[in-house]
Amino acid sequence: MIKQFTISELVEEFPFILGTVDEQTFFNLLVPIHTDLELFDVYYNGDKLHRAGGPVICVPGLAEAWYLDGKRYNPNGPAIVLADGSQGWWLDDKRHNPNGPAVVRSDGFQAWWLDGKRHNPNGPAVVRSDGFQAWWLKGKLHNPDGPAIVYADGSEEWWLKGKLHNPNGPAIVYADGYQAWYLDGKRHNPNGPAVVRSDGFQTWWLDGKRGKMQ
């Protein structure tokens, strides 16, 4: 079944196609390519968005959405393309791209997903233009070779299999001077304080239990 919408009706019914672009900017982008009176096809199967082999919504040059049986789905490219240039790869309504980032935004943000889980075995799974990076494997923060999170201000966190963990030093090092030692998700430092702040505050922890080492 095909329903037809004017561009105003389409934006009202499916506002997500705008991305971060406001409605007026979208219409301004639209004018050189399409007219206000032009009708756009939207494909359904019953009450579910559905089309095999093509987008259910298409505003050529601006936006696309691919659905199969009501689920975002495109095995050959992005299932969502927004007016701001952002793209999302989906398979069976799960973010999924085995060949690169599954989320690409116009602000430089990128994220790698596989089967609905953040995952990149070859580098950070989240990258932002401000320098933020995060390593994920099978949906868990994980980097055996260094910090799993690097913030824009240089702060770092070490994670292994979803748990704060660093056997060789603090697992949390923040730009404000805060440091914390963790082993297997528990605060732990047998050789000194497990929490240190820039104001001189210190606490000792062993196996997740707080205490003062003598």
Q: Tell me the two tokens of residue 29.
A: 């982008």
Task: Report the pLDDT value the prediction gives residue 212, as an integer from 0 to 100.
Answer: 66
Q: How far apart are CA 66 and CA 88, in angstroms?
A: 10
Q: How far apart are CA 147 and CA 153, in angstroms?
A: 14
Q: How far apart are CA 51 and CA 63, in angstroms?
A: 16
DSSP letter assigned to residue 121: T
Q: Is 80 helix (H, G, I), strand (E, B) or coil?
A: strand
Q: What are the residue ranges spanned by the domains of the chain?
A: 2-163, 165-214
DSSP letter assigned to residue 208: T
Task: Report the pLDDT value the prediction gives residue 213, as an integer from 0 to 100.
Answer: 46
Task: Give the pLDDT means over successive 10-residue stretches in the chain (214 positions).
Answer: 91 92 84 72 96 94 95 97 96 97 95 98 97 98 97 97 97 97 97 95 95 58
Task: Report the pLDDT value the prediction gives residue 38, as an integer from 0 to 100.
Answer: 81
Task: Report the pLDDT value the prediction gives residue 24, as an integer from 0 to 100.
Answer: 86
Q: What is the pTM for the complete model shown?
A: 0.89
Q: How far is CA 70 from the centre of its chain?
A: 22
DSSP 16-51: GGGTTS-HHHHHHHHTTT--TT--EEEEEETTEE--
